[in-house]
Amino acid sequence: MQRRSAARLGPLLLLLLLPVAWGAGPEPPRAAGELQVSSRLAGQAARVALHYLNYRLGSPSALRALGQVRKATVKTIPGIGHKYYLQFTTEDYKSSQNVGTCLATVLYLKRKPRPAVNINCTYTKDQKQTREDDYSFYKKLRQQTKPITGNDIPDSYGHIEPALEPAWALAVAGSSYLMWEKSTENLGYFMAQVKNVKQWITKDDSIDFDYLVILHEIPTQEMISCHLRVIWTPGHPLKVKYFCLSENQQSESEEGSGTESGSTNGIFNEEEANF
């Protein structure tokens, strides 16, 4: 279990208090201005929070997908934006096994480019195992003398070549940054396909991939092509650069290095019942 510094005690205390506030008994009185959220917007906000989490954790073996939204409310903060309060379950991205619950806030700002996320999750998967999994495919990728390349992952039939799975997982992690940045209250994203991947063999100890990914944009249904550059060293923040092409929009680009504001307490390796 990760150790918390004194500076993070505040959120920890809040976490301990949360079982009281979030449904250990009858429905607590809602704070003024909180509204019930439609399942569409709730799911969208939860996904944004998970994009942020997946990006910040930067661990291809610990990627998470949305399970079920258990609670969702929204508050209007005048002049600032809309703040969503969410509780949702998560699944392991690969196996679909339930791997824990998250509490998150997602603040869609009127003036800033991307939603501000605070997310805390339990994690029922063995962290030591995921660290080892990360390290083993990191080693495999470092041992490449010939750079990995590939197209259409998954292919038209949903098939992913086993040798390309690590590259695909890293694309999901990198795309998470991109999708977090682009998401708005009304526009959500899924990574539809890796159109192209090319590995750069580096002299340092990082893993370096160049991707062309296709994002599926909801509700417009558009397929957005983005170039993505992902640089990864296990245990370090993911470095992501991207620029997207769209027929109907100008291209946009951003760079992420793990120092963006937002917070996650990482993961607590607690039993689900204790939460």
Partner 1 sequence: MILLLIYPSMIFSLFHNSVTLLVHAQYKRHDVVVLAPSWKQELLSSNPLDFWLHPSNPALPVDIRVPFPSLQSVKVFLESHHIEYSILLEDLQVDKSTSLMQMVNNQRRERGTGNFNYGAYHPLESIYAALDDLAAEYPSLVSKQEIGKSYEKRPMYILKFSTGGTNRPAIWLDAGIHSREWITQATALWTAQKIASEYGNNPSITSLLNRMDIFLLVVTNPDGYAFTHTNNRMWRKTRSKNSGSLCIGVDPNRNWDAGFGGPGASTNPCSESYHGPSANSEVEVKNVVNFIKSHGKIKAFLTLHSYSQLLLFPFGYKCTNPADYNELDTVGKAAASALASLYGTTYKVGTICSTIYQASGGSIDWSYDYGIKYSFAFELRDTGRYGFLLPASQIIPTAEETWLGLLKIMEHVRDNQS
- Contacts with partner 1 by CB under 8 A lie at 38-40, 47, 65-66, 68, 93, 96, 150-152, 154-159, 161, 190, 192-193, 214, 216, 218-223, 247-248
Shortest distance (Å) from residue 65 CB to partner 1? 6
Of 75, 12, 53, 83, the C-alpha closest to 264 is 53
**Cβ closest to partner 1, residue 155 vs residue 205:** 155
Nearest to partner 1 of 204, 247 (CB atom): 247
| Residues 6+ positions from 158 with CB-CB distance below 8 Å | none
Tokens of 83: 């703040």
Could you tell me the smallest distance in angstroms from the CB atom of residue 138 to partner 1? Answer: 23
Q: Least distance (Å) from partner 1 to the CB of residue 25? A: 26
| Smallest separation (angstroms) from partner 1 to the CB of 220 | 6
What is the rounded end-to-end Cα distance, in angstroms, of the chain?
14
Give the E-state strand segments of 123-262 in sequence order.
149-153, 188-200, 207-218, 223-232, 239-245, 252-256
The helix-helix angle for 165-182 and 39-57 (nearest 10°) equals: 120
Q: How far is the CB of 206 from partner 1 (least distance, A)?
A: 25
Name the residue nearer to partner 1 (CB basis): 143 or 248.
248
Find the helix packing angle between 127-142 and 165-182, rounded to 10°.
Answer: 110
* Contacts for 244 with CB less than 8 Å, ≥ 6 apart: 178, 182, 215, 224, 225, 226, 227, 251, 252, 253
| Inter-residue contact 258 to 249 (CB < 8 Å) | no
In the complex, the smallest distance separating the C-beta of residue 154 from partner 1, rounded to whole angstroms, is: 5
Residue 159: HSE in the Cβ half-sphere, 13 Å Cα cutoff: 4
For partner 1, the closer of residues 1 and 163 by Cβ is 163
Q: What are phi and psi of 31, to 5 degrees?
A: -65, 155
CB of residue 35 to partner 1, shortest distance in Å: 14
Residue number, 49 or 231, with CB nearest to partner 1: 49
Closest CB to partner 1 among residues 36, 136:
36
Edge-to-edge order in the sheet of strand 263-268: 34-36, 64-77, 81-92, 98-109, 116-122, 263-268
Query: Shortest approach of partner 1 to residue 150 CB, angstroms?
Result: 7
- Of the pair 246, 269, the CB lying nearest partner 1 is at 246
Tokens of 2: 């990760």
* Smaller CB separation from partner 1, 124 or 175: 175
Cβ atoms 194, 170 nearer than 8 A: no
